[in-house]
Amino acid sequence: MSPARCLVLLAAALGAVGSARADPPVVLVPTLTLGMVDDVVPPIDATKRKCVWKANTAKQTVDRIVPPPPGSAGDPTAWGATLTVYNAAGGTESFPARLPATGWTVAFRTGYRFVSPTGPVLKVFVKQDHLWVNAGKTGFGYTLDEPSQGAMAVRLTLGTGVTWCASAVPKVPASRYDRPGKFFATHADAPAACSPVP
């Protein structure tokens, strides 16, 4: 094979690798519930830290929660997943958690389930139009020791196939639902854009 032909094939192979590593598409979803509690009174007990995110797109005609098919680039049983919880109101705090492929199983016929008894992400359920995340305990690195959050955002990326993104402001009155040790939002519309991770 000529040197020129080798260079062409090498360039094609590198291009294929580059396209495989492209950022996954982002689907903006509404939030049914985004809540977190944290121990902020010394002595701090991080085992009491808990974060829950629920999303439902059954009433939407676009931007639906659709689990990637098994064997695809978004199959978490092969490629794992990443959950990122972060401040969406100009704060600097964020916490990414890797969800290894070994914790995922196929469930709900066309969906997926993740389970880890130790955390920091304890359970994730993904099926058509439904997403539920339960995280917390000591390893969960997002805290609520600030006066308020203003807004929180969540991203769940399955492999390199899809990212679901949501953000929400606290329920009114904010003085009750966004304070040290507590954040709670409910029935928030899908954001116009996915807030950048700090």
pLDDT in tens, 56-91: 999 999 999 999 999 999 999 999 999 999 999 999
Instruction: Name the DSSP class of 147.
Output: S
- Considering the chain, what percentage of its residues have pLDDT values greater than 90? 83
Say yes or no to pLDDT of 103 above 80.
yes
Identify the pLDDT of residue 7: 34
Identify the pLDDT of residue 22: 61
Domain ranges within the chain, ordered by starting residue: 24-188
Say yes or no to pLDDT of 110 above 80.
yes
For the chain, the farthest-separated pair of C-alpha atoms sits apart, in whole angstroms, at 72
User: What is the spatial distance between Cα 74 and Cα 56, in angstroms, rounded to a whole number?
Assistant: 19
Residue located via tokens 């192979």: 13
149-168 average pLDDT score: 97
Greater confidence (173 vs 21) lies with 173
Whether the pTM exceeds 0.85: the reply is: yes
19 confidence band (pLDDT: 50, 70, 90): very low
**Cis? peptide before 191, omega within 30° of 0:** no
Q: Which helix (H) or strand (E) holds 179?
A: strand 178-179
Residue located via tokens 């995110």: 53
Identify the pLDDT of residue 181: 98
Name the β-bridge partners of 185. Answer: 34
135 confidence band (pLDDT: 50, 70, 90): very high
Identify the pLDDT of residue 24: 80
Q: Tell me which amino acid residue 154 is.
A: V
Q: Tell me which amino acid residue 159 is.
A: G
Say yes or no to pLDDT of 6 above 50.
no
Helix (H, G, I), strand (E, B) or coil at 30: coil
Say yes or no to pLDDT of 174 above 80.
yes
